[in-house]
A and B are shown apart, each in its own frame.
Chain A
Amino acid sequence: MKSGGNMMIALKDMKKLTTVSVIACCAVFVCSLFMNYQWDLASVEDQIVNEAGRMMFEAQIASGKVTIGVTGGCLVITSLIMLVFYIKSYIDTHGKELGILKALGYRNIQIAKHFWIFACSVCAGCGLGYAAAYFYMPTFYEIQNVEQLLPKLSVNFYPLSALYLILVPTLLFALIAIAYATLKLKHPVLDLLKNRRTGKSYRSRKENSACSFLHDLRKSTLRTKKTLVFFVAFSAFCFASMVQMSISMMDLASEEMGMMILNIGLILAFVTLLLSLSTVVKGNMKTIAMMRSFGYSDASCTKAILGGYRIFTIIGFAIGTLYQYALLKFMVSVVFANMENIPFFCSASVFYHNDHFYRCL
C-alpha cells in the first residue's frame, strides 16, 4: 500500500539536502583516502628492507594517523552534528504536516519511517566521496611515495571500508531521522497542527515596555529559537576549526595534500556557514516578511533578526579555533609518544615535510 507519508517529503525538499550530501562527500573522501592508504601501506610492511624506507614507513603511518584523527575527528563530528541539526530543524518546521497526517489517522511509525529519505542524501554523498577517493588514489599514492623509498604500492579495494564509510553512516542517519520524527510525533496532535510549543512558556516574562519593538524582537528571536542559536554558534565553530585544520595540515603534510585538505576544509566551512545562515533566515521568514510589509527597512529587519546571533558566532569561532588546536596537539602527542627515535621530528606543530625529510637524510 502506498501511504500518504511517503509523499510528505517531496523532491523539492530533497534539493535542499544537497548540502548534506556535500558534507558527507567531503568527509568520506578524505577518510577513505587515508584509510585505504594506511591499509595498503601496512600490507607491505615486511617488504621494506632499507633503513630509510623503514623510517619513511613509520613516519607515514604516524602522519596518516594524525591526518585521519584530525580531519576525521573534525569532519566526522562536524558532519554528524550538522546533519542531526538539519534533520531536527527540518522535522521541527514540518510539525504541521506531521500533525495533519496523524490527525487523519496515520500511525506514528507509518509517518516516521518515510524519513529514511534523509539517509539517501547521506548515502549519495558518502558514495560519491568514496568513489572520488578511489579515482584519486593512484595519484595520491604516487605523491606519498615520490622518493621511491617504499615498495610500489597498488591500490587495493577493501570492502570493509565501504561498510564503515557508506553503509554505517547511511543506516545511522536513517535511524536518527526516524527516531527523531517518532519522538516529535509523541506530541499532542493539536500542538503539532497549530505549531504550538509544548512545555515551558516561551513568551518573554518581564515585558519591558520601555524597550523598543525592534529590541524586543531581537531578544525574542533568540529566545524562541534556541536550537538555531546553537546551530549558528556551532557552524562558526566548524568554520574556525576547518580553517585551522586546513592551515595546520599545510605544515603537517605534503604540499599537495595540504592544498587538498585546505580546499576541502574551505568548501565545508562555507557550506556550513551557508546552511546555518539560510536556516536562520528561513526560521524567521514570517517575521521578516511581516515587518517588510509593514514598511520596516531591510536593514533594520536584518539587524533585528541576525544581530542577536553575532555574539554566538564569535564564541563559536573562538571555541572552534581552540578545539582544533587542542585536537592537533593531542593527536600528535599520542601518536608520536613512542617514536622518539625519529630524529627530524622536533616541534609538535611542524612535523614533517617531504622535502625536508629528504634533506635530513
Chain B
Amino acid sequence: MKIQAVNIHKAYGSRHKTEVLKDVSLTISKGSYTVILGASGSGKSTLLNVLFGLERCDSGSVLYDSTDITKMNDSALTAFRKEHIGFIFQQYYLLENMNVEKNVRMGADLVQNKQYHEIIEAVGLKDKLKQYPSELSGGEQQQVSIARALAKNPHVLFLDEPTGALDEQCGRQILDLDYIMRLHQERHFTILMVTHNQNIAETADTVIRMNSGRITEMIENAHPKSAYEIGW
C-alpha cells in the first residue's frame, strides 16, 4: 500500500499548546523500507502514531492508496488496523499473563492465521514457547512482539525505536532478522521505522529526516547495508 500524509498538524496541551507536527507531508511507496530519523523529542513517534491511526491529528489527512483514515470513526479505524497494520514499539507491549505462544496467537487469531508456529520458529523463539514475558530478556520480548506483528500478515509494518531499549548485540539481532526481510521481499509489505540512531538509518532504502516537527530532508539510499555492516 502506498501511504501518503498531507499537511499534518498536531499540537498537545490545552492552554499552552505545543506544536509537535508542523505541516508534515510525505509519501511512502509500496514495498519500501523507510526510516524516519530525528533527535529525541522531534515528533517521530507522534507522526508514526498518526500514520497508523493510533492517534488523531488536528488537521491534514493520511491516505492509504485512496482511503483517508483520518475520516474514519473509531471502529472503522480499529478494523483498518486489524486488516493492514503491524506494529512494534520500544516498550514491547506484551500481555504479561500469557506465554509466548499465546502472545503471538493474539495477532494470528485476529486474521485466522494458522501458520504462526513458523513465525515463532523464524524469530528464534522455538524453545521459549511456554515461557512468560517476565521470564525473557529484552531482546527476546521484542522478538515476541515482532512475531506477533508478523503473524497478522500486515501490509504495513511500523516500528518505533524497536532497538531503543536493547544493547548493541540484541539490537543487531533484531534488525538482522532475515525473516522480516525475506517476508518483506516475498510479500512486498511496506516497512516504516522510527529511530534516533543515524547508523540504523543506513539499513533503509529511504531515509526521512525530522527536526522539531518538520521534515527537513528525504534521501534515497542506493546501497542499504545489513545490520552487521553498520556501526552502533
Contacts and interface: CB of A to CB of B under 8 A. Distances in A.
A104 B49 contact: no
B9 interface: no
Interface string B50-80: 0000111000000000000000001100111
Contact of A107 (B79, B102, B107): B79
Contacts of A167: none
B98 A103 contact: no
B110 interface: yes
A105 B112 CA distance: 13
Interface string B3-41: 000000000000000000000000000000000000000
A10 B87 CA distance: 24
A199 to B, nearest CB: 11
Contact of A7 (B87, B95, B107, B110): B95
A102 interface: yes
A30 B98 CA distance: 39
A10 B85 CA distance: 27
A305 to B, nearest CB: 23
Contacts of A102: 78
Nearest to B13: A201
B47 to A, nearest CB: 13
Contacts of B110: 3-4, 104-106
A188 interface: yes
A96 B93 contact: yes
A313 to B, nearest CB: 32
Instruction: Give the most central of A103, A186, A190: most B CB within 10 Å.
Output: A103
Contacts of B148: 104
Nearest to A11: B97
Contacts of A8: 95, 97
Interface string A190-220: 1001000000000000000000000000000
B98 A10 contact: yes
A232 to B, nearest CB: 26
B95 A97 contact: yes
Contact of B78 (A1, A3, A96, A108): A108
Interface on chain A toward B: helix, strand, loop, or mixed SS? Answer: helix
A101 interface: yes
Contacts of A100: 93-95, 106
Interface in A1-52: 1-4, 7-8, 10, 12-13
Instruction: Give the most central of A4, A99, A102: most B CB within 10 Å.
Output: A4
B182 to A, nearest CB: 23
A12 B102 CA distance: 15
A188 B75 contact: no
Interface string A92-121: 000011011111111110000000000000
A7 B102 contact: yes
A189 interface: yes
A320 to B, nearest CB: 35
Given A1-B109, A4-B105, A4-B106, A108 B75 contact: yes
B79 A3 contact: no
B85 A188 contact: no
Interface string A72-103: 00000000000000000000000011011111
A70 to B, nearest CB: 41
Given A1-B109, A188-B55, A106 B82 contact: yes
Given A4-B105, A7-B102, A103 B87 contact: yes
Given A4-B106, A100-B106, 8 more contacts: A1-B109, A3-B109, A7-B95, A7-B105, A7-B106, A103-B87, A108-B78, A186-B74
- 10 tightest CB-CB pairs across the interface, nearest first? A105-B82, A4-B106, A105-B81, A10-B97, A100-B93, A189-B54, A190-B55, A7-B102, A190-B54, A7-B98
Interface of A: 1-4, 7-8, 10, 12-13, 96-97, 99-108, 186, 188-190, 193
Interface of B: 49, 54-56, 74-75, 78-83, 85, 87, 93-95, 97-98, 102, 105-107, 109-110, 112, 148, 152
17 contacts: A3-B110, A4-B102, A4-B107, A4-B109, A7-B105, A96-B93, A100-B95, A100-B106, A102-B78, A104-B148, A105-B80, A105-B152, A106-B110, A107-B78, A188-B55, A189-B54, A193-B93
